Amino acid sequence: MRWWWREISGLVLPAVCAGCGHARTALCDECAEELAGPPARARPCPEPQGLPVVFAAARYEGAVRSVLIAHKERGALGLARPLGTALAGAVRAATPEERTARGPLLLVPVPSARRVVRARGHDPSRRIAVAAAVALRRAGTYARVLPVLRQGRRVSDQSGLTARERLENMAGALEVAPWAGRVLEARRTVLVDDVMTTGASLAEAVRALRAAFSGHVSEYTRMSAAVIAAPPLSFETGRN
């Protein structure tokens, strides 16, 4: 019933911007502009082994952080569309050569634990990925979401863990659905997530895909990833 209450309350309660909290709209123009980027290469420090090339739409701070938390933790489902548009921009930056390629661009979301999805009442990463695919199709790129990754074992909450602890927590945690082989083989694939902090989840996602398709490793050696936000120090322009 949580989703029903969120939808009804969004109609009867006065809206405030999820980013700044001032404007009487779900997302004001200023915060939407901050969310939109432009996308840039992001690399955590230290960078985990196996991390693909990652592009982020924005820095995980201020209004961007507030918008992401509102969608993920408070169930502000109406924010999925602008978040998806931001993610689509990061996907385009991560796959510039794909714009003229044939066949669909597959967006593979990094999965959340089932217990977390149940507690939240929705799957934010998958919802945003679907919105990103819609935005890409509207811009002329044939894209669709393929949720082939899943957690094969229980993992601890990542918040509060160090970079090393997050790597240990995620090591071997993801697996690929057995039906995914024929769909993914020789297809263009980009991993997507809402936020990258240490890169542990993305690195584990690549490991799982490579392990599942060991006979076609070349298809995934140049795999890229796109996220909505990353910490400011992850951006190469902010390291000097």
What is the rounded distance in angstroms from the CA atom of residue 217 to the CA atom of residue 60? Answer: 32
What is the rounded distance in angstroms from the CA atom of residue 5 to the CA atom of residue 13? Answer: 11
User: What mean pLDDT is predicted for residues 42-62?
Assistant: 93
In this predicted model, what pLDDT tens digit does every residue of 164-190 receive, in sequence order? 878 777 777 788 888 776 667 656 789
DSSP 14: P
Q: Output the CA angle 123-129-135, nearest 5 degrees.
A: 140
Amino acid at site 219? E
Residue 10, pLDDT score: 47
Residue 148 clears pLDDT 80, i.e. is over it: yes
- The structure's pTM equals 0.85
Whether the CB-CB separation of 97 and 105 falls below 8 Å is answered with: no
Residue 240 has a CB neighbour count (10 Å cut-off) of 4
Residue 215, pLDDT score: 55
Residue 12 clears pLDDT 70, i.e. is over it: no
pLDDT band (50, 70, 90) for residue 203: very high
Residue 31 clears pLDDT 80, i.e. is over it: yes
Residue 213, pLDDT score: 72
Dihedral pair phi/psi, residue 194, rounded to 5°? -80, -45
Pairing of strands 188-195, 174-176: unpaired
What is the rounded distance in angstroms from the CA atom of residue 124 to the CA atom of residue 193? Answer: 9
pLDDT band (50, 70, 90) for residue 87: very high
Residue 93 clears pLDDT 50, i.e. is over it: yes
DSSP 42: B
Residue 196, pLDDT score: 94
Pairing of strands 149-151, 174-176: antiparallel
Nearest to 176 by CA among 230, 106, 122, 227: 106
User: What mean pLDDT is predicted for residues 10-34?
Assistant: 76
